[in-house]
Structure 1
Amino acid sequence: MPPEQPLVQVRNLYKSFSRGSETIDVLQDLNLDVGHAEFLALMGPSGSGKTTLLNLIAGLDQPTSGTIIVGDQVISEMSESELARWRTRHVGFVFQFYYLLPVLTAYENVELPLLLLPLSRQQRRKQVETALDLVGLSNRMHHRPGQLSGGQQQRVGIARAIVTDPELIVADEPTGDLDTRSAHEILTLLETLRAQLGKTIIMVTHDPKAAARAQRVLHLEKGQLVLDTAASPLLTAEA
């Protein structure tokens, strides 16, 4: 695809949920482009639709109407089974509470997404070790989550997100459960993944300092985009 074409294109997006006889409009006629290797932060009050938008772009949910294109795939037209296959190869997920399996080592947690792909054990080992090396945890690969700090657990989560080499990483409050130092390290790692590996990152956050580390900040209010600003260099330096 032409390099000038955005990686993510959202057009006339609506998302509604039913609660009894009531219809709740979460996203309304939303349009958005996200470029290749862009680090985008989504902000807004609780209930504004941030996580709903993130889930739609990541193929975890389907819109009520509208179009979502990621790469050259119109994911808004995919079935649930097609979305599941697409997510495995094209999207990496980073969560606030890590969602690591406590009985598995860091290596085994990172390996999990690869078990869905037709890879040999040797191929899986190479990709897992590469991912753990990228996040600086090669010396912790045989430790279980309970033996790791919060920041280290989130690094395992990021290694799991990138182990399939997806072009898109979606992060939902990735620093929300971390202390200031660990949060700074995780944001620096996300910046490195964008700058050195060309990953496109969409991050939901309530923290203005975390958002300032992104290249662009979008604000949602009642399901609509209300502000589009570039991240402040001053805030980035102080984050």
Structure 2
Amino acid sequence: MSEDVLFDLVNVSKKFVKGKEQISIFDGLNMQINKGDFVAIMGPSGSGKTTLLNMLGGVDQPSSGEVSFDNQRIDNLSEGKLAKWRANNIGFIFQFYNLMPMLNAFRNVELPLLLTNMSSKERAQRVQNALKLVGLDDRAKHMPSEMSGGQQQRVAIARAVVSDPKLLLCDEPTGDLDRKTADEILETLQLLNKEFGKTIVMVTHDPSAAKYAKHTLHLDKGEFVLEAK
């Protein structure tokens, strides 16, 4: 595998059992994501976009095939090793922010770092840097209820990048926002990609959001069609 490839899916199948029926999401899917890329994944509802994202994040495992990250197989890791790999390499951004309502912005962003051996001083510096990156260093003490939807999503982005992951996985990150706020969030993701070299995979139903990515992959019936931008 080329050194430029971050993710490599080889002949991946994913099946679910529903009652007596076996449902196939993917059958022999092949896909590569290069380091530093920004990929938007689009497709009809139920096409498996979120399942794929979960597979890339090690939340879901394939029924068969190989999934490699930076030349390391992750489809055969134990749950414990997979959790450690995920904490070291992946940042998740969701549609509904998933902030802890009883914690202020600083404490929400700090959460992933509590699983590390960092000193409190180093954690504080990391959190301040992440909040500054998303333009919210002056809102560190604000609670989620005191912030707009766009600001809450910025806090969620700061939380996703605070541990300096190699890959950001975004599931409809602007689906709950108005157009202007959505564009601001997408510009932040674009900045993380262009200026900080973060590899980003974003699931979206919005063609306007997909335009911020370098490539768009259309998922249909378990297959991708790459559209160069």
Normalization by structure 1: what TM-score? Answer: 0.94
TM-aligned CA distance change 1:132 to 1:65, over 3 Å: same
Is the contact made by 1:89 and 1:164 (CA closer than 8 Å) also made in structure 2?
A: yes
Residue identity opposite 2:144 in structure 1: P
For residue 20 of structure 1, report the CA deviation from its aligned partner. 1.3
2:9 corresponds to 1:10:
yes
Alpha-carbon separation, structure 1, partners of 2:178 and 2:34: 30
Alpha-carbon separation, structure 2, partners of 1:6 and 1:151: 32
Aligned match of 1:168:
167
Residue identity opposite 2:147 in structure 1: L
Is the contact made by 1:13 and 1:66 (CA closer than 8 Å) also made in structure 2?
A: yes
Aligned match of 2:119:
120
For residue 111 of structure 1, report the CA deviation from its aligned partner. 0.4
For residue 222 of structure 1, report the CA deviation from its aligned partner. 2.0
Aligned match of 2:226:
228
Cα RMSD after superposing both structures: 1.1
Aligned match of 1:133:
132
Q: Which runs of 5+ in 2 are unaligned?
A: none
- After superposition, the C-alpha distances for 1:36-80 in whole angstroms (9 at most, x for unaligned) are 110000000011011101100111111101111111321111111
For residue 2 of structure 1, report the CA deviation from its aligned partner. 6.1
**Runs of 4+ in structure 1 displaced over 3 angstroms?**
none
Alpha-carbon separation, structure 1, partners of 2:69 and 2:125: 27
Residue identity opposite 1:174 in structure 2: P
Alpha-carbon separation, structure 2, partners of 1:59 and 1:2: 21
Aligned match of 2:208:
209
For residue 212 of structure 1, report the CA deviation from its aligned partner. 1.2
Aligned match of 2:79:
80
Residue identity opposite 2:226 in structure 1: D
Is the contact made by 1:47 and 1:222 (CA closer than 8 Å) also made in structure 2?
A: no
Normalization by structure 2: what TM-score? Answer: 0.98
For residue 13 of structure 1, report the CA deviation from its aligned partner. 0.6
Aligned match of 2:189:
190
Alpha-carbon separation, structure 1, partners of 2:72 and 2:191: 26
Q: Which runs of 5+ in 1 are unaligned?
A: 232-239
Alpha-carbon separation, structure 1, partners of 2:117 and 2:2: 29
Is the contact made by 1:43 and 1:206 (CA closer than 8 Å) also made in structure 2?
A: yes
Aligned match of 2:176:
177
Alpha-carbon separation, structure 1, partners of 2:122 and 2:153: 24
Alpha-carbon separation, structure 1, partners of 2:138 and 2:27: 47
Aligned match of 2:157:
158
